[in-house]
Amino acid sequence: MKILLTGGAGYIGSHTAVALVEAGFEPVVLDNFANSHPLVLERLADIVGQQIPLERGNVLDTPWLEDVLRRHQPAGVVHFAGDKAVGESVANPLKYFHNNIGGAVSLMRAMETVAAETPDASPTLVFSSSATVYGDPASVPITEDFPRSHTNPYGHTKLVIEDMLYALHAARPAWRVGVLRYFNPVGAHVSGLMGEDPAGIPNNLMPYVAQVAVGQRDHLNVFGNDYPTPDGTGVRDYIHVQDLADGHVAAIKRLLGGSTSFTVNLGAGRGHSVLELVSAFERASGRKVPYRIAPRRAGDVAQCWADPGLAQRLLGWRATRSLDDMCADTWRWQSGNPNGYRSS
């Protein structure tokens, strides 16, 4: 069965493509390479031993999306495509509303049009959401019934797209919708052939630490050590990208098996501080990661980690890889590809 991955050449999408092939599915990557690299397709082929079909284009092009859906007739669609830099979304909210919300509307309209051409169709859609929809949680661990809010336009787009999906499902009960709220995806494929490749200065902790360890950056700025946490630095639920990819496969299987729609947290269910991650990375890489304490970053929360119990019960899935695994796999990718997918 074919599964269409919008944004499938991206960090989470490409790792999900590998997991889908290993589970016997046929992923089709749809991407415009606005925030990903064509080399990913070659690396995918190296890992899975077969070419993954590519549809190159923009999800905002609804007629083109309809054509892709008609030609491939995928059993399901996973919607990864979108912009995801919190800081950029504050500076350029219209780009995020247009690309993220507009892209999701375009995809859902194309799916609805094509589904109408098949009697009794049950369009199946998995959406890449984020723990950012929980805003600043009143407590941890976080369960799916926690109140949602947004603290930046990026998080706002995730919340709006969730609400659009819920409204669509209410109007079209035949649709099968899986909303997956990612916590902090980190790590790289164990082969070292694929990994996170942020453009410019990384916003996120793990890729920044990796670039310090490999010598690309002088030191890490730790954004605050006066939080109400064990060592004063921010605590997050880091989840290995391959565990996250396995969560997508479990979600697809459950939806295609006829399950009702669901929203689940995809997290490891434990928190680690910035300094714990730095220490783990030094152990994994054998390199020092110099750091300086810097002022808090606007919008950061002290602690955020998941209660992944619902995903475990519904999907029979849980994260299995440790923080040491995440650091070791990141280091293998970073040290083997110091410039990511761009040629050295």
239 binds ligand WQD (CB under 6 A): no
Task: Identify which of residues 106 and 184 has a Cβ nearer to ligand WQD in the complex.
Answer: 184
Please state the length of the chain: 344
**Residues of the chain by 3-state class (helix, strand, coil), percent to 5:** 40, 20, 40
Whether the Cβ atoms of residue 82 and residue 157 lie closer than 8 Å to each other: yes
Both tokens assigned to 252:
């697809």
Alpha helices (runs of H) in 57-191, residue ranges in sequence order: 62-72, 86-91, 93-96, 103-115, 153-171
- What is the nearest approach in angstroms of ligand WQD to the Cβ of residue 343? 26
Other CB atoms closer than 10 Å to residue 333's CB: what's the count? 24
- What is the nearest approach in angstroms of ligand WQD to the Cβ of residue 193? 23
- For residues 274 and 301, give the distance between their C-alpha atoms in angstroms, rounded to a whole number: 13
Scanning residues 62 to 91, which ones bind ligand WQD (CB under 6 A)?
A: 84, 86
Catalytic residue among 96, 134, 154, 227: 154
Classify the C-alpha dihedral 31-33-38-39 as positive or negative. Answer: negative
96 classed as catalytic = no
Task: Identify which of residues 129 and 337 has a Cβ nearer to ligand WQD in the complex.
Answer: 129
Could you say which of 32, 204, 279, 322 contacts ligand WQD (CB under 6 A)?
Answer: 204
Scanning residues 219 to 238, which ones bind ligand WQD (CB under 6 A)?
A: 220-223, 234, 236
User: Which range, of 34-42, 47-55, 59-67, 198-206, touches ligand WQD by CB under 6 A?
Assistant: 198-206
Site string for ligand WQD, 276-315 (x = CB under 6 A): ---------------------x--x---------------
- What is the nearest approach in angstroms of ligand WQD to the Cβ of residue 152? 8
Alpha helices (runs of H) in the chain, residue ranges in sequence order: 11-22, 39-48, 62-72, 86-91, 93-96, 103-115, 153-171, 205-213, 241-256, 274-285, 309-315, 323-336
Task: Identify which of residues 26 and 300 has a Cβ nearer to ligand WQD in the complex.
Answer: 300
- For residues 20 and 1, give the distance between their C-alpha atoms in angstroms, rounded to a whole number: 10
Which residues are at the interface with ligand WQD (CB under 6 A)? 84, 86, 130, 132, 182, 184, 203-205, 208, 220-223, 234, 236, 274, 297, 300
